[in-house]
């Protein structure tokens, strides 16, 4: 092919290349979900983690997580068609998202299961064991959660307790044991999450307060400070998020017409009150 023949071909290729949008120019579309927002509590490694959550605004596909730690999380969810549950999960120590591929000796073990609680395996965001307790919690109701940790060689048994106000008693839902290298309860946090992620859910508001948090490390210590963070998934709405204090309690809010009043990574401190350690079941 001569140089004269190559020139028109090169021009044609340049025109085609110019007409193809670059990745940066491609339309991203509307966000699929409200952004996940978190409170991280500075605390020592502990043997127990107590927290309270009061949901103020919720829609189907919401998770209000009270007691999160390095190996699991514990809170309440609103599912579809008005169904509500208490959910406690602990991760396997392995990498990957396919639960069936985890060797049996690396899987989370079930040491205790209440008859009212469903236990099964999960995957897709890591793998592990999860439990569901049907509980029709209400907006404005304060729900109480307790996680206890007992180290057993290189494993840790995590026991989840939920308070039943109608019976005025604690219910031991489940105890999961996982290979942790001897961790107790560390990396403590709470969050509000939109797990429906159907685009419409990004325009809906979720809000909850988190109050009277405590950890036990030789003695009970109140959680008086938290750091506000949020997830960075590209398919989440970035702006409508908030956190702060309301009547002396931490709050998180995301989605809908939420306005930001506290910058990300800010430290939030609640006032020291005349509080007594929680009345919880003995280990």
Task: Report how far residue 115's alpha carbon sits from residue 20's, in angstroms, rounded to the nearest whole number.
Answer: 59
What is the Cα 247 distance to its own chain's centre? 24
What would the 3-class secondary structure string for 48-75 be? Answer: EEEEEEEEEECCCCEEEEEEEECCEEEE
**Burial class, 279, CB count within 10 angstroms (exposed 0-12 / middle 13-18 / buried 19+):** exposed
**How many CA atoms lie less than 13 Å away from 230 in the CB half-sphere?**
26
5 has a pLDDT exceeding 90? no
Mean predicted lDDT score pLDDT of the chain: 90
Contacts of 55 (CB under 8 A, 6+ apart): 62, 64, 76, 137, 139, 140, 141, 143, 207, 208
User: And the tokens for 59?
Assistant: 């829609």
Give 11's pLDDT tier (boundaries 50, 70, 90): very low
Task: Report how far residue 151's alpha carbon sits from residue 89's, in angstroms, rounded to the nearest whole number.
Answer: 18
Q: Are 51 and 66 in contact (CB under 8 A)?
A: yes
Cβ atoms within 10 Å of 98's Cβ, excluding its own: 10
Collapsing DSSP to helix, strand or coil, 156 comes out as: strand
DSSP assignment of 111-153? EEE-TT-EEEEE-SSS-EEEEEEE----TTPEEEEEEEEEEET
pLDDT of residue 282: 83
pLDDT of residue 275: 79
Cβ atoms within 10 Å of 7's Cβ, excluding its own: 10
Q: Are 132 and 85 in contact (CB under 8 A)?
A: yes
Q: Which residue has the tokens 């959660």?
A: 145
Task: Quote the pTM value.
Answer: 0.88
Collapsing DSSP to helix, strand or coil, 13 comes out as: helix
The 10 Å CB-count burial string (b at 16+, else e) for 163-173 is beeeeeeebbb
pLDDT of residue 85: 98
14 has a pLDDT exceeding 50? no
Q: Which residue has the tokens 């190996």?
A: 71
pLDDT of residue 28: 65
Give 221's pLDDT tier (boundaries 50, 70, 90): very high
Contacts of 185 (CB under 8 A, 6+ apart): 45, 46, 47, 48, 49, 69, 70, 147, 149, 158, 215
Q: Are 217 and 2 in contact (CB under 8 A)?
A: no
Which option is the CATH number for 33-269: 1.10.3470, 2.60.120, 3.10.590, 1.20.120?
2.60.120
Q: Kindly state the helix (H) or strand (E) to which residue 225 belongs, with its residue range.
A: strand 225-230
Tens digits of per-residue pLDDT, 238-279? 999 999 999 999 999 999 999 999 999 999 999 987 778 999
Task: Report how far residue 172's alpha carbon sits from residue 71's, in angstroms, rounded to the nearest whole number.
Answer: 19
Task: Report how far residue 250's alpha carbon sits from residue 54's, in angstroms, rounded to the nearest whole number.
Answer: 10
For the chain, the domains span 33-269
Give 160's pLDDT tier (boundaries 50, 70, 90): very high
Task: Report how far residue 145's alpha carbon sits from residue 67's, in angstroms, rounded to the nearest whole number.
Answer: 7
Give 115's pLDDT tier (boundaries 50, 70, 90): very high
């Amino acid at each position: 092919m001569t140089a004269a023949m190559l020139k028109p071909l090169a021009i044609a290729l340049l025109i085609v290349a110019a007409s193809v949008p670059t990745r940066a120019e491609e339309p991203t579309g509307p966000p699929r979900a409200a952004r996940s927002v978190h409170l991280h509590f500075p605390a020592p490694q502990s043997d127990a983690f107590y927290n309270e959550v009061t949901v103020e605004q919720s829609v189907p596909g919401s998770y209000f997580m009270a007691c999160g730690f390095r190996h699991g999380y514990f809170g309440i969810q609103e599912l579809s068609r008005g169904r509500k549950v208490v959910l406690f999960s602990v991760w396997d120590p392995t990498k990957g998202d396919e639960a069936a591929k985890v060797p049996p000796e690396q899987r989370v073990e079930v040491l205790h299961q209440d008859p009212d609680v469903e236990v099964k395996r999960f995957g897709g965001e890591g793998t592990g064991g999860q439990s569901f307790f049907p509980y029709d919690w209400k907006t404005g109701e304060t729900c109480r959660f307790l996680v206890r940790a007992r180290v057993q060689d290189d494993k840790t048994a995590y026991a989840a307790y939920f308070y039943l106000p109608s019976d005025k008693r604690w219910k031991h839902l489940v105890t999961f044991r996982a290979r942790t290298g001897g961790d107790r309860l560390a990396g403590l946090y709470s969050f509000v999450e939109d797990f429906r992620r159907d685009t419409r859910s990004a325009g809906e508001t979720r809000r909850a307060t988190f109050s009277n948090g405590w950890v036990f490390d030789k003695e009970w210590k109140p959680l008086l400070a938290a750091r506000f963070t949020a997830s960075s998934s590209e398919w989440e709405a970035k702006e409508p998020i908030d956190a702060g204090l309301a009547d002396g309690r931490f709050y998180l809010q995301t989605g809908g017409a939420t306005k930001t009043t506290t910058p990300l990574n800010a430290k939030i401190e609640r006032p020291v009150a005349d509080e007594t350690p929680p009345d919880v079941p003995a280990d």
